[in-house]
């Protein structure tokens, strides 16, 4: 729909330079819920929900993580990503390949593996116009912006050796909350964006101020993960706070991806835990979070 995306100032823009605001859905960890990576599921999200982007959350360390599992497990995860990318390409959807660090809080832990992974991904998909690379989900545990930058530079170079144009999203400190810190000293390079994450029941005015500070400094922000529950991914849902967040994103044309496409028995899962369908979900199959995301995206 928008052609090859690029970054202009703090905006994500289409092939004609017009501002684009993508809205979509993230998978849960691919090792946990591979069944939702199928063309009919993505088509349901596109046609019924209005999704324009799918995020593929590939964990690096947790359960069958890419960097902790076997070589066969790595092969299977790459095959799953390839299946997803090809489905998205056929459906006209954008797709984010997410290096999903969590317990390995410092992205340097698997920097060597990240460089090799993203170089191979960029080589394979250099001819695609719909692939976006998210190179470090949620740095945490006191990892500084300077440390993230020293990780990101060689990984970005590895991608750029294969693809000079793809949009690359860089994680920010404190679980992708400190975008104001990144805005004070952004990385040099083109088509770079910075990840920001929030969970509406936990994160309110203080975090919105951080985002506004970053925007005022001209930082290109992409909300690669959000939920309307607590930061744990579970707990209380606050729709009033969720609406405040989405109003702010809409006002600033910030793209956003909801966590997560699964039937896990927790508040952030978009499907009811009793729903066994792999695609073709009706609104009645959705959780409270799922119904909110579904209704919000259909408005667009």
DSSP assignment of 33-84, as one string? -GGG-SHHHHHHIIIII---EEEEEEESSSTT-TTTS-HHHHHHHHHHHHHH
DSSP-derived pairing of the beta strands 192-199 and 131-134: unpaired
Question: By C-alpha distance, which of 57, 71, 133 is closest to 101?
Answer: 57
Q: Residues 145-181: pLDDT tens digits? A: 999 999 999 999 999 999 999 999 999 999 999 999 9
- Examine the pLDDT at 42 and tell me if it is beyond 80: yes
Residue 35 backbone class (left: φ over 0; alpha: ψ -120 to 50; beta: rest): alpha
Question: By C-alpha distance, which of 222, 204, 229 is closest to 290?
Answer: 229
- Examine the pLDDT at 300 and tell me if it is beyond 80: no
Q: What is the chain's mean pLDDT, rounded?
A: 98
Question: By C-alpha distance, which of 190, 285, 185, 269 is closest to 233?
Answer: 269
Q: What is the pTM of this model?
A: 0.98
Residues with active-site annotation = 138, 225
**Orientation of helix 71-91 relative to helix 111-125, angle to 10°:** 40
| CA–CA separation, 45 and 294 (whole Å) | 9
Cα angle: 34, vertex 4, 185; to 5 degrees = 90
Question: By C-alpha distance, which of 53, 59, 52, 51 is closest to 33?
Answer: 59
Cα angle: 10, vertex 16, 17; to 5 degrees = 15
Distance from first CA to last CA of the chain, Å, rounded?
A: 14
Question: By C-alpha distance, which of 231, 164, 220, 192 is closest to 9?
Answer: 220
Query: What's the pLDDT band for 1 if we cut at 50, 70, 90?
Result: confident
Task: Report residue 82 as tokens.
Answer: 């390839």
130-140 mean pLDDT? 98
Task: Give the contacts of 164 (CB within 8 A, at least 6 positions apart).
Answer: none
**Residue at token pair 């076997």:** 70
């Amino acid at each position: 729909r928008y052609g090859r995306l690029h970054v202009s100032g703090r905006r994500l823009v289409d092939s004609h330079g017009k501002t684009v605001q993508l809205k979509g859905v993230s998978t849960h960890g691919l090792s946990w819920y591979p069944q939702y990576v199928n063309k009919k599921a993505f088509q349901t999200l596109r046609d019924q929900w209005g999704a324009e982007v799918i995020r593929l959350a590939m964990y690096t360390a947790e359960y069958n993580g890419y960097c902790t599992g076997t070589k066969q497990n790595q092969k299977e995860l790459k095959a799953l990503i390839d299946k997803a990318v090809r489905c998205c390409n056929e459906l006209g959807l954008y797709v984010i390949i997410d290096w999903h660090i969590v317990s390995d809080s410092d992205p340097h832990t698997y920097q060597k593996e990240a460089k090799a992974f993203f170089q191979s991904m960029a080589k394979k998909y250099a001819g695609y116009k719909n692939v976006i690379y998210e190179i470090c989900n949620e740095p945490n545990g006191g990892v500084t912006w300077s440390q993230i930058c020293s990780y990101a530079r060689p990984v970005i170079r590895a991608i750029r050796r294969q693809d000079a144009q793809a949009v690359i999203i860089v994680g920010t400190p404190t679980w992708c909350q400190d975008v104001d810190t990144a805005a004070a000293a952004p990385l040099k390079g083109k088509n770079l964006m910075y990840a920001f994450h929030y969970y509406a029941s936990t994160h309110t005015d203080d975090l919105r101020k951080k985002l506004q500070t970053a925007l005022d400094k001209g930082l290109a922000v992409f909300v690669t993960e959000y939920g309307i529950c607590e930061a744990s991914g579970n707990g209380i849902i606050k729709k009033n706070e969720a609406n405040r967040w989405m109003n702010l994103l809409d006002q600033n044309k910030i793209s956003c991806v909801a966590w997560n496409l699964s039937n896990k028995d927790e508040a952030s899962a978009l499907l009811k835990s009793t729903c066994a369908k792999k695609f073709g979900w009706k609104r009645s199959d959705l959780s409270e979070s799922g119904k909110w995301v579904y209704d919000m995206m259909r408005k667009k």
